[in-house]
Amino acid sequence: MAFSDEELIKECVKGTAKYQKALYEKYSAKMYPIALRYSKMQQEAEDILQEAFIKVFKNIENFRQDSSLPYWIKRIVINTALNHQRSKLYLYPMVDVSDLKSNSAKEVTLSSFSYQELLDLIKRLPSGCQVIFNLYAIEGYKHHEIATMLEISEGTSKSQYARAKSLLRGWVEENNRINYERAGEI
C-alpha cells in the first residue's frame, strides 16, 4: 500500500516502524544511486545510505513543508556523503590545478554508455574531483556554494571541476574509440 508523504511524515514522527519502512521503501531506490556516485566502493555507499536514513528518521520532526520530502532526503544523503568524503579530502587536500587544456574541442556523447559504465567512470575520479563533479554537474550547486560547503576556495572548486571534466572527457573518448575500433573489426 502506497502512503502519501503527509501520512509517512506524520507516522514517522511518532516512530511507527511500519511507516518508517514504507518511507524507506518509497525513497531508498532513488537515493541509493546518489550515495553510489559519491563513493568508491559499494559498501561505502550502503553505509552512507544507512546513516542518511537514520538521520532522516531522527530529524523528521524538524522537516518543514517548505520543500518536498524527497528533496529534503536527497540533501541529507548528499550531506552524509560529503561527511564521509571529507576526511579523504582533508588527507588529500584539494589545491588549484593548473589550467588544463581541453582534450578535445568537440563535445562527447554519453549515449553509448550504460548507467553502470558512467557510474564506474565517476568512481575512477580522484576523491576531490568526484565530489565536486557530482555537486556541480549533477546536483547543480554553484561553485561558490560548493566552496562554502567544503570550506575550500571557489577557484579550487572550479579547477577541480575542470580537472574532472578533462579526465572524464578523455575516458569517454577513449571508450568511444575502442568501441569504434571493435565495431570496425567486426
Partner 1 sequence: MSGPEKFDDEFGKEWREAFDDFSQTPPPAVWENIDRELTYRKMIYYKKSARLFQYLSAAILLLVGFLSIYIIFLNSNNQLLQNNRLIDISHPKPLTESIFKLDTLGNYFFKKQGGFFVSDNSENSTSNSFKSKAQIDEKSKIDNGNSVSGLVVPPIYTKANSALVKLELLEDLSPLPPNANITIAANFENHEIWRVADYSYLMKKSKSKTNSEKRVMWAGIDLGSGSFDPNYQSSAVTTINNSISPNSLQFSGARTDAIESQSPQIEESMSAGSTVSLGLNFGFHLSEKWSLSSGIRYNLSQATNNTNVVVQSTKVQEAIPASQEFKNINQVNNAVSSNSVVKYDFQDVELSNEFQFASLPISAGYLIYNKKFSVELNAGVAANFYLGNKLTDSSNEFADVSIGPGGQSAYKEVSFSGLAGIELGYLFLDRFEVIVQPNYQQSLNALTKESAEFEASPSGFGVSTGLRYRFK
**CB 175 to partner 1: min, Å:** 14
Three cell numbers, residue 78: 548528499
**CB 65 to partner 1: min, Å:** 18
- DSSP letters for 44-58: HHHHHHHHHHHHHHH
Which strand (E) or helix (H) includes residue 17? helix 17-37
Span of 2-10, 29-37, 123-131, 178-186 interacting with partner 1 by CB under 8 A: 29-37
Q: Is 13 in the site for partner 1 (CB under 8 A)?
A: no
Q: Is 15 in the site for partner 1 (CB under 8 A)?
A: yes
Distance (Å, rounded) from C-alpha 169 to C-alpha 167? 5
Which CB, 5 or 139, lies closer to partner 1? 139
Distance (Å, rounded) from C-alpha 60 to C-alpha 13? 6
Type of residue numbered 8: L
Q: What are the φ/ψ torsions at residue 152 (nearest 5 degrees)?
A: -130, 175
Contact positions with partner 1 (CB under 8 A) in 45-64: 46, 49-51, 53-55, 57-58
> DSSP character for 45?
H
Distance (Å, rounded) from C-alpha 153 to C-alpha 82? 16
Which x/- pattern, by CB under 8 A, does the window 149-178 give for partner 1?
--x-------------x--xx---------
Distance (Å, rounded) from C-alpha 50 to C-alpha 35? 10
**CB 5 to partner 1: min, Å:** 17
Distance (Å, rounded) from C-alpha 89 to C-alpha 105? 30
One residue of 41, 100, 138, 178 binding partner 1 per CB under 8 A: 138
Binding residues for partner 1, per CB under 8 A? Answer: 15, 17, 20-21, 24-25, 28-30, 32-33, 36-37, 46, 49-51, 53-55, 57-58, 83-84, 86-87, 89-93, 107-110, 113, 115, 118, 133, 136-143, 145, 151, 165, 168-169
